[in-house]
């Protein structure tokens, strides 16, 4: 039976890499898929991983009817055996409904990849709808690590290396941005609650607790 499957995890845990691998494995067996993405770090119409892998994709723009797009492709003689959607957290809830309809009405497997919560620990609307509708939810087993070495469970937005908790829900960035820019960092819950990033922890370590005493 076709399924709507949601692969979730924090940033930097290999979601896009797995999406690319799944597409490659199916392509090697003669299957043809349609790949959607939204606001990928590599630019419009791209699915990329931090390992340097990249492939062409269909940009699922705001307001796009993904079900209608696939029906149109099939009616024109196109082939689709499955659908992959990366950065699914950025989709609108109604677009997730469309993906569920692709499974139910067109009989295609849909594999959606995305992070669950934003930098404020709030559910993305797209991810929330996937949790509500998915036939299956898979948590990726490749664990991203906090700077302290513990398992990272939360995504943090940083500006100048310092964590921020206000601002628009969607600001495109990456975990490898220079500290002076808007970027993202994965943290364990303890350090997310304390708003302690790698940069602020390093600064704290460099600051002595006791002022040095000099002899007269």
Catalytic residue numbers read 87
Torsion of CA 183, 187, 189, 192, to 10 degrees: -40
CA distance 184 to 186: 7
Alpha helices (runs of H) in 12-117, residue ranges in sequence order = 15-28, 66-75, 93-106
Give the E-state strand segments of 80-214 in sequence order.
Answer: 82-85, 109-114, 136-139, 154-159, 162-164, 182-187
**Cβ count near 102 (within 10 Å):** 25
């Amino acid at each position: 039976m076709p399924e709507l499957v949601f692969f979730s995890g924090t940033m930097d845990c290999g979601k896009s890499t797995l999406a690319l691998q799944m597409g490659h494995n199916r392509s090697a067996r003669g299957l043809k898929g349609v790949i959607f993405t939204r606001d990928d770090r590599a630019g419009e119409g791209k699915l990329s991983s931090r390992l340097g892998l990249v492939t062409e994709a269909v940009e699922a723009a705001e307001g796009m009817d993904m079900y209608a797009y696939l029906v149109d492709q099939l009616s024109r003689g196109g082939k689709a055996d499955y659908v992959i959607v990366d950065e699914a957290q950025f989709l609108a809830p109604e677009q997730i409904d469309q993906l569920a309809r692709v499974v139910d009405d067109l009989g295609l497997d849909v594999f959606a990849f995305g992070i669950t919560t934003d930098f404020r620990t709030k559910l993305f609307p797209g991810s929330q709808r996937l949790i509500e509708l998915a036939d299956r939810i898979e948590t990726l087993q490749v664990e991203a690590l906090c700077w302290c070495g513990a398992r990272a469970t939360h995504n943090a937005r940083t500006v100048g290396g310092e964590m921020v908790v206000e601002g628009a829900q969607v600001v495109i960035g990456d975990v490898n941005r220079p500290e002076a820019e808007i970027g993202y960092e994965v943290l364990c819950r303890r350090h997310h609650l304390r708003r302690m990033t790698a940069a602020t922890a390093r600064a704290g370590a460099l600051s002595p607790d006791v002022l040095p005493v000099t002899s007269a």
